Structure 1
């Protein structure tokens, strides 16, 4: 096991490679990094061009856009994480993207990315992430697939996914219980309105007659963890 290539360095010691096909974003990220007084900044329009340069001069950090053509940032990450790409396999990569969905973040981190930043990018956000990165002591391990990854990342993401699933199930249960309660209240109100036109019934008699009927309506069966039958998600 080995630490990533930026571990223990100061920001002023970093050799940073930017891989971005947007000229305005290149200019923005470069100017932000220069304001941090990093040692070196190299900018490339494509992943293929960057890879060729990095093979001869590996950087300490890579900042890469997720969506690029013909080789995407994700494909670049998978290339450099292969065990035959040493020492590039130890270089931390941070994605910069306009599409920070939960699925994309999960995919990127499971593939070996150290972090993901969402556009528009602010200097304070990038500074805090780089400051965190140089103190991140998680080691890189070689997986059975032949690719290097962050030690324990899959377990960490699995735990987070399970927590999110539990929260989502609890939310679903609450929504369904709220709907059932509203249905019962509506039925009781209708019965009161109907009874007011004739012989009044006591609330106890109405409840005995209405609530079982409301329970018999076709509604998803629920448990303490949410719906017991598929909800389509």
Structure 2
């Protein structure tokens, strides 16, 4: 096992290669790297040009974009990591891309990239990543596929994926539990509201009896006498 080509070096000793098809981004990265007082910065528009120059003079670190044509950054990574590319296969590669999705990061790291940065990258972030890289003592190993990779990276990525899956499951469980709780609370509240309204509805449905009719003293006398007014009265 062997360490990557930048391990143990000082920032001032770094020979950096930048592969970027955007001219403005080339200028930005060159300016940032030179502000770190690195020894050398070489910039290339395409993978083919960078590969040819890097084979002739292997750099200590490669910074490359992901989406490029006709050869992509991922294809460049796979070319560099092949065992027939020694000593270039030991050069650490940092991706700087505008498409830093989780699947892209997973794919890049599993294929042997040391880090993935998302555009726009700040000078402080890039400096920290380079300082971290210079101290990264993970050795490079040759896999059965014939490509070099970072020792332990596959296991580390599997563990991270498992943690993310567990976290996603926990979030889903929490969301479902919260929804069920809201449904139960709504049902209980509706039940209490129904009980409070029930007496009002019962009384509202009861027909009130009319108060007993009051009769005059004359009417009472006639009723008690056993005859009704005008009963048997003949009209002439």
TM-score (norm 1): 0.84
- Correspondence for 2:97: 97
* Structure 1: stretches of 5+ with no match in the other structure: 201-233
Cα separation, 2, equivalents of 1:93 and 1:167: 30
Which residue matches 1:163? 163
**Alignment match, 1:10:** 10
Q: Deviations over 1:22-64 (max 9, x none)?
A: 0000000001111111111100000111111111111110000
Q: What corresponds to 2:214 in structure 1?
A: none
Structure 1 match to 2:196:
196
> Aligned ranges for residues 69-148 of structure 1 at < 5 Å?
69-148=69-148
- Report the CA distance between 1:190 and its aligned residue: 1.4
**Structure 2 match to 1:185:** 185
Structure 1 CA distance for aligned equivalents of residues 124 and 198 of structure 2: 71
User: 1:132-154 CA deviation, whole Å, 9 max, x = no partner?
Assistant: 11111000000011100000001
Which moves more between the two structures, 185-194 or 40-49? 185-194
Larger Rg over CA atoms: 2
Cα-Cα RMSD = 1.1
- For 1:119 and 1:188, locate their aligned partners in 2 and report how far apart those are by CA, in whole Å: 51
- Any unmatched runs of 5+ in structure 2? 201-236
Q: In the aligned structure 1, how far is the partner of 2:73 from the partner of 2:61?
A: 14
Correspondence 1:201-220 to 2 at 5 A: none
Bigger Cα displacement from structure 2, 190-199 vs 122-131: 190-199
Which residue matches 2:20? Answer: 20
Q: Deviation at 1:167?
A: 1.1
Q: C-alpha offsets along residues 103-128 of structure 1, whole Å, 9 cap, x if unaligned?
A: 11111100000001111111111111
